[in-house]
Amino acid sequence: MLHNPSEKNKLFIGLMSGTSLDGVDVVLVEFNKQQPRLLSSYCHPFPKLLKQNLLETIHVNWTGSLQDIGILNQQLGELFADASLTFIQQENIDKNLISAIGSHGQTLWHQPEGDYPFSMQLGDASLIAEKTGITTIADFRSRDISAGGQGAPLAPAFHHEFLSDSNKNRAILNIGGIANITHLPKSDSGKTIIGFDTGPGNGLIDAWIASNSNNTYDKNGDWGRSGNVLPEILEILLRDSYFALLPPKSTGKEAFNLDWLKQMLGDKLQNNNPEDIQATLTELTAISIANSIEVDCDELFICGGGIHNTYLVKRIQHHLANIKITSTEDLGIHPDWMEAMAFAWLAKQTLEGQTSNLPEVTGAKGERILGAIHKA
């Protein structure tokens, strides 16, 4: 049990529920040293019915009500609170030592462009603070969007703080439902940090196998590996305008989903073997990532659930044959917990009144203190 009172204001919980909806990642992070120290971690199961309701709500033809969204917001708040409390109990953690919980929330819709840009994450932070008795910080994206930014990705600031190398051009790739990249130039390069969403990560791969089997994800990429990439299909998918956009840019499952796939391919979707479509979707992720890597990149470190898709990683390496590719574990941060740790750090920054966005990444007018504080 953690019991040293001197640790107060140094321990933070990070909560991350990504677009894959495969669980709630919970981490306890210590920040009293130069590098963040992961003390413990836990993945809380995502209830099947709640996951189903969320997927239906994100669907373009959803016909629900504002009441449904309100209920989802509370259900997710309870889920995140329960995940935190279960974690605290299992790890025998003294709650008084935890400065705050940083909760990403569950993204319902991300729309940073247009006349009324916004990004909506559900999971009532007041409910988390009330049930856990711990100050909870959430709604990290809104302030950046209000300042003209994309509100995403936010992890590059964490990558920059802890994972930069003065002698090498380094890239950090997170493959969740959506994939995002952070380019960390070496100190004498004269370049600025670049970070953006590359496009689909696991999202389309997961959605396609789920629609064709009882599996929710393609374990090791075995089903995709069994198929053949269809060049004509791949070419059609790569025509999506998002891939040609210059950063700053961000996207989500409201853009890349099964409806998008049906719209792009029409009858071609059903007129080909499903495993060939899976191989092609895997190739789409690999190529869109490879096209986002700068030519002078020395090394690429991968985190997120996509690192477990060995076929996908192999295809990325195929397209980036001259770049060393490995896991962020080689940098001291386990790939499964990177994003949750980032939101623990974001909570720390907010609580200390420090900025945590990178305008050169998000496109915001300047640095901003992100997040809303819900006192215990």
Give the tens place of pLDDT for each residue, 324-347. 999 999 999 999 999 999 999 999
Q: Which of 134-138, 157-161, 189-193, 211-215 has the lowest mean pLDDT?
A: 189-193
Judge whether 5-151+337-374 and 155-331 match in fold. yes
Residue 189 or residue 345, greater confidence:
345
CB atoms within 10 A of CB 59: 15
Tokens linked to 223: 């089903």
Encoded amino acid at 187, one letter: S
Concatenated DSSP letters of 330-357: GGTS-TTTHHHHHHHHHHHHHHTT----
Q: How far is CA 314 from the centre of its chain?
A: 21
pLDDT in tens, 1-24: 444 444 444 899 999 998 778 899
Q: What percent of the chain has pLDDT over 70?
A: 97
Helix and strand numbers, DSSP H then E, in the chain: 13, 13
CATH fold label, 5-151+337-374 = Nucleotidyltransferase; domain 5 (3.30.420)
Q: Output phi, psi for 51, to 5 deg.
A: -60, -45
Tokens linked to 374: 């819900």
Mean pLDDT, the chain, rounded, equals: 94
pLDDT in tens, 240-258: 999 999 999 999 988 999 9
Average pLDDT over residues 359-368: 97
* pLDDT confidence of residue 7: 46
The CATH code belonging to domain 155-331 is 3.30.420.40
Average pLDDT over residues 128-155: 98
* pLDDT confidence of residue 21: 81
Cβ-count burial of 211 within 10 angstroms (0-12 exposed, 13-18 middle, 19+ buried)? exposed
On the question of pLDDT at 277 being above 50, the answer is yes
Domain range list for the chain: 5-151+337-374, 155-331
pTM reported for the whole predicted model: 0.93
Q: What percent of the chain has pLDDT over 90?
A: 91
* pLDDT confidence of residue 115: 96
Radius of gyration of the chain (CA): 20
Q: Are β-strands 136-138 and 170-175 bridged in parallel, bridged antiparallel, or unpaired?
A: unpaired
pLDDT in tens, 85-113: 999 999 999 999 999 999 999 999 999 99
Which residues, 6+ apart, have CB-to-CB distance to 322 below 8 Å?
A: none
CB atoms within 10 A of CB 31: 19
Buried residues in 343-365 as b, exposed as e (16+ CB within 10 A): bbbbbbbbbeeeebbbbebbbbe
